[in-house]
Homo-oligomer: A and B are copies of this chain.
């Protein structure tokens, strides 16, 4: 159990490492640079991360994953009106536009090793947390009658997470947010039940 001061120091190291990695890449970021940036000594760093860089990278990945969710608040956590859904949609597009072609979390996952259990756990937890909050929003809107009872919250939230993930992946390879925006808009149309019926 860390003291309050200990937790703050650990967090300062993590955020300094995150900045260092954003600036120079995960491979080039050295423990010396991270110590300098966070104003901590190397023995302090090894106190909090006894296994060294690998353990620190994982902590940074967990923190970056948390930021993905954090950046979407307060909207993602209370998708209880169409206004909240629209604002959340705009926040997501703006966030990923600003991020552009370089994903800090993706860099870390690649460095840790995409197929390692540790990296997969970080990715899985992020997806689950994200999807759970979308699902809660759909359930609330079903309760209030704004979303039809036949929309399955589990499958519909899974589809939305896929749509965002794909839009972001395409943005990262093309630099354009068109696919992300189209996917989000079409999805909101679907939820609203406002789909043009043939004929």
Contact = CB atoms under 8 A, between A and B. Distances in A.
B186 A189 contact: no
Number of chain A interface residues as a range: 35 or more
A173 B101 contact: no
Contacts of A199: 145, 148
Contact of A127 (B164, B168, B170, B182): B170
A124 B159 contact: no
B148 A198 contact: yes
Given A162-B183, A195-B193, A174 B124 contact: yes
Given A174-B120, A178-B158, A193 B193 contact: no
Contacts of A196: 148-151, 193
Given A101-B115, A193-B197, A197-B148, A161 B170 contact: yes
- Among A114, A120, A145, A158, the most chain B Cβ lie within 10 Å of the Cβ of A158
12 contacts: A101-B115, A120-B174, A148-B195, A158-B178, A159-B179, A161-B166, A162-B167, A186-B187, A186-B190, A193-B195, A193-B196, A193-B198
